[in-house]
Structure 1
């Protein structure tokens, strides 16, 4: 688990506490917004952790909710202060999916499904460069380099003393699609074989022979956290914006879907053999 303060997770935890206080008071987000002369969307963004929360916001909300216990107020103030700190990824400037990186940095386990590419945490540098360049043709060389460096830094999560528990299900297409060149693919798949032997990392492949399966609707990831108060999150990457699902019903739906994908995929041992076989084909 990450040891430094994670502003993304702090915002989520603080937002959840503020939502509990509002609900205990029996107030709607619209009523709170009216009291504070702000928009309802601001209250919603504060509660779902998508917006930075200032200590002034906390003070005003505590007054509306009638919170008189100074210990509670001070605890929320501390969380607000920590939520405005900068994570390691902020040193790279404006980068895509920064919210996801913050969640990934704190997750205890990640289950991910990809149909077209190898997941970022498992990519070699050459493969990552080819992916970033190919999916963002308008990126400058400097932007490509920055995004690749961030991706390499993210991979610390699978190398830490207490690494994230990572489970990846891939469609066979991710092995067959030539990203970069055959040598890049061979090195990537050999790297994937090596990683799949780590005790905290599992890789399964859904072969073409399975035919249609639930994952054909698109890639997704399910992140779970150590703290009981941190709800699981389903992450769906978009072109212009990403989607984060936290409702219990949504998480359950994707969890069931993931179990179907794992059941239809080859076993980890069979998957490793297939990946090694395809890597040899690229060698030829």
Structure 2
């Protein structure tokens, strides 16, 4: 197992603390080596703190604030972020423990979820905008219950019924973000393959396509489809989710669920690259109305296929 899988991803607050300290050091025009000499804090420790891989102890934070000449407001912000940096209460926003059925079924952890996925749920719940690109299936926030169940069973063939049930439950509860007051804006781009693949059979897929048409009319949700006719495009390398947050001090975040584990990217260069990639994919995709027309066409085709069966 890799270090990325063993180490819990940083919380939003720890990421904020790291970003603030990086910015203060840059404004002070100091290298990590110079800071280490002035504070006695190891260079490796400074690196880990600035990469949100470690929470600074109070005496370390105090020393850094002194060296950086942090003002009163900055000190208050840094101390608040440091105090709450390890608060992982938002990792399980849809219930603190698996259901009794899931526990009886032998699911590991929280319905078998990785710590990285739980961290993503917390980030998603705090996001201002969720930009999701999917090449093979419908984004999780836009899935119907039967479609979600079929996807989970297909992707996790060894999962027991209790674990599948728990994963479906969490996925359905996450949909409350779509209607929550001050919930995130959802911007979804799908490859046409995600619409045409009859996951769960024609009836399940028709229900899913109809749901996409309905949800795509909501003011806070945008659904775009890249048609087969667009040919090769930049999103063929894989799916990803880009998040930004209401507080400008919180760095943007990119998350991807890969066979090797959860991948989080939060450097300015990486998040800008993925945000630009998402905009390029939106430009290649059909507009809102034409995307809805393609989805409605898929619904008609699936109704015909369902009637044959």
Q: TM-score, normalised by structure 1?
A: 0.84
For residue 29 of structure 1, report the CA deviation from its aligned partner: 7.3
Matched residue, 1:3: none
The answer on whether the counterparts of 1:32 and 1:64 sit within 8 Å (CA) in structure 2 is no
Pair 1:62 & 2:82 matched: no
Which residue in 1 is equivalent to 2:181?
A: 161
Q: What is aligned with 2:296?
A: 276
Which among 79, 92, 106 is matched to residue 89 of structure 1?
92
Q: Matched residues in 2 for 1:261 and 1:70: separation? A: 42
Cα offset, 1:87, TM superposition = 1.5
Q: Return the offset for 1:75.
A: 4.4
Does structure 1 residue 138 correspond to structure 2 residue 141? no
SS of alignment partner, residue 242 of structure 1: strand
Where 1:180 maps in the other structure, the secondary structure is: coil
Change (3 A) 1:226 1:75: closer
Range that drifts further, 98-107 or 265-274 = 98-107
Partners of 2:271 and 2:70 in 1: CA distance: 34
> How far off is 1:135 after superposition?
1.1
Aligned Cα RMSD in Å?
Answer: 2.8
Query: In 1, are the aligned partners of 2:192 and 2:226 still within 8 Å (CA)?
Result: yes
- Structure 1 residue runs of 5 or longer lacking an equivalent are 1-6
Aligned residue in 2 for 1:14: 17
**1:219 positional shift:** 0.9
Where do 5+ consecutive residues of structure 2 fail to align?
Answer: 1-9, 98-108, 305-309
Structure 1 residue aligned with 2:106: none
Q: CA deviation at 1:129?
A: 1.4
Shift of 1:125: 1.2
Q: Secondary structure at the match of 1:227?
A: coil
Relative distance call for 1:75 and 1:263 in structure 2 (3 A) is closer
Partner SS, residue 16 of structure 1: helix
Give the whole-Å Cα distance in 2 for the aligned partners of 1:10 and 1:202. Answer: 29
SS in 2 for 1:266: coil
**Distance in 2 separating the partners of 1:27 and 1:98:** 35
Cα distance in 1, alignment partners of residues 210 and 128 from structure 2: 26
Cα distance, 1:260 vs structure 2: 2.1
Q: 2:256 aligns with which of 225, 236, 250?
A: 236
Alignment pair present for 1:192 and 2:196: no
Decide which moves more: 122-131 or 139-148: 139-148
CA distance in 2, matches of 1:147, 1:58: 39
1:150-179 Cα distance to aligned partner (Å, 9 max, x none): 222222211112221111111110011121
Counterpart position of 1:224: 244
Confirm whether residue 265 of structure 1 aligns to residue 268 of structure 2.
Answer: no
Deviation at 1:267, TM superposition (A): 1.3
- Counterpart of 1:215 in structure 2 is 235
Tell me how far 1:14 sits from its aligned partner.
Answer: 1.7
Q: 1:250 aligns with which of 265, 270, 273?
A: 270
1:200 to partner: Cα distance:
1.1
Residue 183 of structure 1 pairs with residue 203 of structure 2: yes
Judge conservation of contact 1:172–1:205 (CA < 8 Å) in 2: yes
Q: Specify which of 185, 190, 194 is matched with residue 170 of structure 1.
A: 190
Task: Report which stretch shifted further, 214-223 or 76-85.
Answer: 76-85
Mapped to 2, the partners of 1:49 and 1:239 lie a distance apart of: 24
Greater CA drift, 87-96 or 234-243: 87-96
